[in-house]
Structure 1
Amino acid sequence: MISRSLLVSITAVTILGTAGSAAFAESAEVTPVEESVLQPGPPPEEEEGFTPAPTDEVPELPPTPSKPPANGPSSEYCGPSKNIYRPNANLGKYHAGVGAAQANYNGTSRTARSWFKSETGGEVGVAISSEVKVSASVVVAEVEAKYGVELSAKLTVKVGNEIQIDTPPKKTTYGKYGVWRMKNTGTAYTIYSNCTTSPKKTGTTLTPWYVGWYLWER
C-alpha cells in the first residue's frame, strides 16, 4: 500500500495536467521563475583538467636567473610576484548542475505541463585550467572588465526553486538546476619580483554568472 506522503512526493514531479492551472499537494510558496530556454540536449560534461580557483593569490617564486635580467640589473625590484590572466575569447555559457537531473515522460496524446523542483543545494565557484594560476577574485575582475558583465566568485544553489515547462506528447522533458558560468580562454603568466616573466600560456576559466535551470527534451 502506498502511503499518502509518498503520493504527494510523486505528484510534485510528475505531470500536473494540461495547460490549465496546477498546484502542489503541499501548500508551499512558489518562487516565480522565468521559463528557461529549451536546450537541444543534456549539458556537456565539464572537461578534464579544471580545478577550483584558489581563494587567495599564491604567486610562484621567481626563478634564479643565470644572468641579470635583460630589462635591468639583478637587484632591480618590480614589486611582489603577481599571477596574470588576460581573457581574450568568450566561449559562451556552460551549465554546472547541482544534484541529479529530473525527468518527466508524457505518455498522453496531448501536451502536458511538467513541474520540476530543485532538491539539492550546493555551491559552484570559479574553475580554472592548469595553466591559470590566479585566484577566483582576479578571474572575476578580469572577465568582468573585459566583457562588462557582473559575475561572482561563488554562487549558492538553494533547495526549493521551481519551474514549469510544456512536455509534448510521447516526449520526455528533463530539468537540472545549477549555475550558468561564462567560459573564457585567455593569456596566463606570472610577473616575478625580479622583473622577469614566466612563459605565456593559453588558459581557460569558468566563472559563475547566474543560478538557473537547464532544460532539454527527447
Structure 2
Amino acid sequence: MGTIRTGFISSAVAFSVISGLTVGPAFAATPADSSSEDPVVIGTAPPAEPEESDLIEVSDPDSEQTFKPEKPPVDTPNADYCSPRNIYKPKTKGARYHVAVGPTNANYNGTSRTAKSTFTSEVTGEVGVTVSAGLSASVSVMVAEIEGKYGVDLSLKLTAKLGNSMSVNTPPKKTTHGRYGVYRLKNTGVSYRLYSNCKTSESKTVTSYTPIEVGWTLWES
C-alpha cells in the first residue's frame, strides 16, 4: 500500500494545467479560489463503488410507496388504537460513496520535480437519492430520520456545477487521477407498516444512498 498524501476535495471540478508536463483533464481538491487550509486526501486507488446493484433512483421523495401486506391484521372490539402510518428507522450508518459527474481524468507529471495541477469542472450534473426495494415511508421521511439519528445534514438532491476549480500537487513521475461529483452517505434501516390496532407488518431491510456533499475524489498511480 502506498503512502496516502493529504488533501481534501470539497466542491470543485477541473481541467488540469501543469507547466512542462504531459497534461490531460484531471481533478483536484480544494477550490482554487477557496481560503480553506484543510488538507486534501489523495488515495492510492480509485474509490470503492456501492455494493448494491438493485437500487432505484427516487423520482418523488415526498410520496409513500403503496404497502400491500398479504394478510392485514383483523381489528377486535377492544383493541388499542394507533394512527396507521408507514415507518422507517435507521439502523447502521455506512461509508460515503462518490458519484462522478463528468469523466474521470488524469495528469501525468513527467518531470523530476513536484508540479501543481489545476482543474476546472467541465459539466453540471444533479445527483439524488437511491434506495433498495422495501421502503414504505416516503424518502423525505427516511432522510429526516437518518439526519436526526446521526446528526448529519443530507439533501434530497445536490448539483455539481460547471466551472468549479481546484489545485493539487502531483509528485515527480506520478499520475494524479480525479473525479468530480457528489458524495452520498450509505445507510441501512428498516421499514414497516403500523396498523390501526397497533400491530406492525413484517419489517423490511432498506439500503439507501443520500447526497451529503459535493466534491472531488483523487488518487495517484
TM-score bracket, normalised by the shorter chain, equals 0.7 to 0.9
Aligned-residue offset at 1:124: 0.9
State the alpha-carbon separation in 2 of the partners of residues 192 and 31 from structure 1: 54
From 61, 70, 74, give the equivalent of 1:68: 74
Secondary structure, in 3 states, of the residue corresponding to 2:144?
helix
Aligned-residue offset at 1:189: 1.8
Q: Given the superposition, is the C-alpha separation of residues 33 and 155 from structure 1 closer, same or farther in structure 2, using an over 3 Å criterion?
A: farther
* 1:1-218 aligned within 5 A: 12-16=15-19, 31-32=33-34, 34=36, 35-46=39-50, 47-53=52-58, 54-63=60-69, 65=71, 68-69=74-75, 72-73=76-77, 78-80=82-84, 82-192=85-195, 195-218=198-221
Q: Given the superposition, is the C-alpha separation of residues 63 and 93 from structure 1 closer, same or farther in structure 2, using an over 3 Å criterion?
A: closer
State the TM-score, normalized to the length of structure 1.
0.77
State the alpha-carbon separation in 2 of the partners of residues 119 and 110 from structure 1: 28
State the alpha-carbon separation in 2 of the partners of residues 196 and 110 from structure 1: 68
Q: What percentage of aligned pairs have identical amino acids?
A: 48
Q: Which runs of 5+ in 2 are unaligned?
A: 1-14, 22-30
Q: Which runs of 5+ in 1 are unaligned?
A: 1-11, 19-28
Aligned-residue offset at 1:194: 6.2
Q: Given the superposition, is the C-alpha separation of residues 120 and 33 from structure 1 closer, same or farther in structure 2, using an over 3 Å criterion?
A: farther
Secondary structure, in 3 states, of the residue corresponding to 1:140?
helix
State the TM-score, normalized to the length of structure 2.
0.76
The letter of the residue matching 2:47 is P
Aligned-residue offset at 1:32: 2.0
Please tell me whether Structure 1 or Structure 2 has the larger radius of gyration of its CA atoms. 1
State the alpha-carbon separation in 2 of the partners of residues 176 and 33 from structure 1: 22
Q: Given the superposition, is the C-alpha separation of residues 36 and 73 from structure 1 closer, same or farther in structure 2, using an over 3 Å criterion?
A: farther
* C-alpha contact 2:67 2:193 (8 A) present in aligned 1: no
* C-alpha contact 1:139 1:205 (8 A) present in aligned 2: no
State the alpha-carbon separation in 2 of the partners of residues 120 and 136 from structure 1: 27
* C-alpha contact 1:59 1:190 (8 A) present in aligned 2: no
State the alpha-carbon separation in 1 of the partners of residues 61 and 90 from structure 2: 19
Secondary structure, in 3 states, of the residue corresponding to 2:48?
coil
Q: Deviations 1:150-183 (Å, cap 9, x if unpaired)?
A: 1111111110111111111111101111111111
Aligned-residue offset at 1:44: 2.5
Q: Given the superposition, is the C-alpha separation of residues 167 and 67 from structure 1 closer, same or farther in structure 2, using an over 3 Å criterion?
A: closer
* C-alpha contact 1:188 1:200 (8 A) present in aligned 2: yes
